[in-house]
Amino acid sequence: MPDTAHALGASRTLWELTERRARLTPDRPALLQDDRVLTFGALRDRAERTAAGLHNRGVRPGTVVAWQLPTRVETVVLTLALARLGAVQTPVIPFYRDREVGFALRGSGAAHFAVPGRWRGFDHTAMARRLGAPGVFEAYDTLPEGDPAALPDPPASGTDVRWIYWTSGTTSDPKGVLHTDRSLIAGGSCLAHALRLTPDDVGSIAFPFAHIGGLDYLVMLLLYGFPAVLLETFALPDSLDTYRAHGVTTAGGSTAFYAMFLAEQRRQPGRKIVPTLRLLAGGGAPKPPELYHDVVREMGCRLTHGYGMTEVPMITMGSPEDTDENLATTEGRPPEGMEIRITDGEVRLRGEAVCRGYLDPAQTAEAFDEDGFLRTGDLGHLTDSGHLVLTGRLKDVIIRKGETISAREIEDLLHRHPAVREAAVIGLPDPERGERVCAVVESTGDVTLGALTAFLRGEGLAVHKLPERLEVVDALPRGDTLRKVLKYKLRERYS
């Protein structure tokens, strides 16, 4: 990482990082959306005016403010304004509805709630009123503003809890995850260091900014001083014009994003769909090795994938300097300061980027071991080069007749089958075997259980790991943020 970025990464708070970047490169573009350009200097100034407006509404250090807003310039401004005041923020994914939003408002004890009004056909203001949310205000095209001269001093501590994020929905009940400015800056620094981006790059945020990856990305922009294109909604091929117009050099989000870009590229073979694109990057979901090789070969760009979670926004990340083998089969390496311990096959973590715990103290006590390492619930191992290989989830392990089977191993092999677009493997209760292996696939043609098991045998899969049941679906159930497959819904459906 360049010396300047190293120095900025030492900032104690998100607001300090914002101010330092604004002083360093005030006239460089920071946020690009449609025909709007906001420089780093203007971003700081507008955030200060908004902070003054919020202060006039009664927002003080420690006040809990929830916001459920799309990926827009105003959302980033509001985030930094709240950081300037030292408020506690609880971002809510804009696709969530009454159940999840009510859960977040009650759990966090929010005193104010920012909504976009009517957005994509849904009335968020009406929902907020229906839920009895306090301090509701709309923050889409306009934000509260005031005189920054009346503001108190900005927060000095970066280790106070100022963020409550919500787990992204791969389990039925969300948990409130507690973060500090320093834990989020540490996560963003890891991402920035691994990707080797420069001030000449043009990034993109096509996923919900309310996801913890949004702050990860914002920290990276502030560290390196390059801009990002904000996409309120992402759809291909419609979004490609935006990528081309702004000369985006790095894009991505998660495995589902890579697959969508690749599918679009296959409609235009031999012609790069985004001529300036040199890097796809992301994380948040398993990446089949075949997908890596297909993207690199057909799109003519690099693909780096990482490992993160709401509790630890960036754990490991592949680097463009890694070998193809490591980029295809591992999640990259951890940065300095991230300790990884493998205990009984489980990945455990300790470091500055790790959250402080959960809103529920009992959940916190259960999540950390006696040495202060976070239990991730993920299974994996470290290679001799220090790269992390994930092999599945503790809850994703299938126990059949006493034999342990990794769902991830079978899924990676199924993705090689030409008629399988997406695949998820789950264990279903069985009175004789304990569990049986069930493959649920999205198919591009006719597939049968016999044909798939014959294919898997040909790929060298052990006989006791072969699926005993096949379900073909139009679409696997996915979360609204990084499009993770919701396996608990599959288990509920097919058990």
Helix (H) or strand (E) holding 218: helix 212-224
Pairing of strands 339-343, 312-317: unpaired
Mean pLDDT of 360-375: 96
Tokens 């401004």, residue?
Answer: 77
CB 368 within 8 A of CB 374: yes
How much is the average pLDDT of 357-383?
95
Q: Which is nearest to 189 in space by CA: 2, 382, 398, 421? A: 2
- Name every residue whose Cβ is closer than 8 Å to that of residue 270 and which is 6 or more positions away in sequence: none
The overall average pLDDT reported for the chain is: 92
pLDDT value at residue 171: 44
Q: What is the pLDDT of residue 480?
A: 64
Gap between the Cα atoms of 59 and 56, Å rounded: 7
pLDDT at 137 over 80: yes
Output the CA–CA distances (angstroms, integers) from residue 45 to 4, 40, 209, in the order listed. Answer: 22, 9, 21
Band (176; pLDDT cuts 50, 70, 90): very high
Task: Copy the structure tokens of residue 271.
Answer: 């012609």
Place 372 in a pLDDT band, splitting at 50, 70 and 90: very high
Question: 340 pLDDT band (50/70/90 cuts)?
Answer: very high
pLDDT above 60 (res 168): no
303-315 pLDDT, tens digit each: 999 999 999 999 9
Q: Could you write out the DSSP letters of every residue in 41-64?
A: HHHHHHHHHHHHHHHHTT--TT-E
Instruction: Examine the pLDDT at 248 and tell me if it is beyond 70.
Output: yes
Q: pLDDT-based confidence at 408, cuts 50/70/90?
A: confident
pLDDT digits (tens, 9 = 90+) for 264-278: 999 999 899 999 999
What domains are there in the chain, each with its CATH number?
1-392 (3.40.50.12780), 401-494 (3.30.300.30)
Q: State residue 2's pLDDT score.
A: 63
Summarize pLDDT for 421-468 with one digit per residue, the tens. Answer: 999 999 898 876 778 999 999 998 889 999 999 999 898 887 888 999
Residue 398 confidence class, pLDDT cut points 50, 70, 90: confident
Model pLDDT, residue 482: 60
Q: Measured in Å, how far apart are the chain's first and last C-alpha atoms?
A: 49
Q: Give the Cα separation of 113 and 104 in Å (integer).
A: 11
Is pLDDT of 188 > 50? Answer: yes
Rounded CA separation 168/479 (Å): 7
Q: Give the mean model confidence (pLDDT) for residues 322-326.
A: 95
Residues 6 or more apart whose CB falls under 8 angstroms from that of 205 comprise: 71, 214, 217, 228, 229, 230, 231
- Quick one: which of 204, 254, 201 has its CA closest to 232? 204
Is residue 312 within 8 A of residue 334, CB to CB? The reply is no
Per-residue pLDDT band for 285 (boundaries 50, 70, 90) equals confident
Q: 3-class SS at 193?
A: helix
Question: What is the DSSP pairing of strand 397-400 with strand 469-473?
Answer: unpaired
Q: What is the DSSP letter of 153?
A: P
